[in-house]
Structure 1
């Protein structure tokens, strides 16, 4: 009788069967993403379509190195560094990734051949609103440095939906508006619904017996789901791409059909709103009791 072996990373032959992103001419990759990823043609494409096209082209190169890095860590099982932070000010990924991978000149030349300006497209990308100040910038620098120095490392943080706030001055007064940086999606993140865990808040611990066995159970708690999103962090001048894992709060029960059918529409989504508020904003205004 034979014992099934645990599958390991793909073989060199399997890897060779895949088409490398680096082997595809940049102009060809751009044309392909415009048509098949954005479902657009030159005649109807917008500036944002071209940003998405260019970002996806660069992302292909990042992902290829990301996969190779992950497989290397899996095979060698090195010691790893895990950096936890409430903030990660990683900035704009498109231009930074192209620079770190050393493909910025090729991408710029390819875009120019198609009548597009790389610098103008880079301005379309929203800054990742995952922080507020020095703490977030320092955390991002640590991640960049670990990847650049080929140190196996992973960052862990929260995927804020609105980050901090976007400032506007109206009639000489500061007005705070939500920084909806995810309005158009985020090409650089990969949702991992298979990595969703239940986090319990409040409640109490009770003791009960089953025969001679004493057990403890957490009851009267409020469960919230934490869903993972992965963001690649490419090092400068190296093949290493490390990972930033961000967590987003999701409701354990998104919609209450009983309350909805009874006409209580606000109550129907109350649990969802309460749960997802956890990862809405970095620091809520503390002038109210709830904010504190």
Structure 2
């Protein structure tokens, strides 16, 4: 009887692990439903397009996070040197689609959305462009980080978290008007806030 209880507990833990970090279509669908309910407080028809995007982003972030933490721990244990790239801008582009490609699950995510009756294109379109950079400097910094990751060189980018990012432009009564780009108004699921870590800049 004791062995059966231990076996049941092990199966439950394995299932939980699969839902959190598994890359199968069934794991993605279950994780999406869980995040929609537990992170957004929504279910089924009550969910907005942004709720669906946030749930999808958290689902992908869980899978990225496990790999990121494992890499960071390995580098620390082996005392590996890390490239620190400092830039005032990082023009990264939308994260969701890029991370789906990097994990190799773009097609699985698309099929999952279809099976759940969701519009995959609409979910991707909900993401705000991160207001962290503009032009050549920001794009170059992002490309450097992509290249370093592809070459499996330990690296981290340091920059400024702009609250309003790049301003938008509108025409009112024939005049150009600058409007703040409130890219964080719906939250940013890709962030891991650590408010106790801060550094004064003079």
TM-score (norm 1): 0.60
C-alpha separation in 2, matches of 1:105 and 1:64 = 21
**Pairwise CA distance, 1:107:** 0.9
**Pairwise CA distance, 1:138:** 0.3
Superposition pairs for residues 1-292 of structure 1, below 5 Å?
A: 19-20=17-18, 21-22=21-22, 25-197=27-199, 199=200, 201=202
Q: Aligned in 2, Cα 1:200/1:164: closer, same or farther, shift over 3 Å?
A: closer
Question: CA RMSD for the aligned pairs?
Answer: 1.8
C-alpha separation in 2, matches of 1:70 and 1:95 = 23
C-alpha separation in 2, matches of 1:200 and 1:106 = 44
Secondary structure (helix, strand or coil) at the match of 1:98 reads: helix
C-alpha separation in 2, matches of 1:200 and 1:182 = 22
Richer in helix (by share): 2
Richer in strand (by share): 1
Per-residue deviation, residues 27-77 of structure 1 (Å, max 9, x unmatched): 111111111111111021111111111111111111111111111111212
Secondary structure (helix, strand or coil) at the match of 1:91 reads: coil
C-alpha separation in 2, matches of 1:112 and 1:72 = 38
C-alpha separation in 1, matches of 2:98 and 2:113 = 17
C-alpha separation in 1, matches of 2:99 and 2:53 = 14
C-alpha separation in 2, matches of 1:200 and 1:26 = 41
C-alpha separation in 2, matches of 1:179 and 1:31 = 31
C-alpha separation in 1, matches of 2:112 and 2:201 = 50
C-alpha separation in 2, matches of 1:200 and 1:193 = 16
TM-score (norm 2): 0.85
How many residues align? The count is: 185
- Structure possessing the higher radius of gyration over alpha carbons: 1
**Which structure ranks higher in relative contact order (CA pairs < 8 Å, sequence separation ≥ 6)?**
2
Question: Unaligned stretches of 5+ in structure 2?
Answer: 1-12
Residue of structure 1 equivalent to 2:3: none
In the TM superposition, structure 1's runs of 4+ consecutive aligned residues that sit over 2 Å from their partners are 169-174
Residue of structure 2 equivalent to 1:260: none
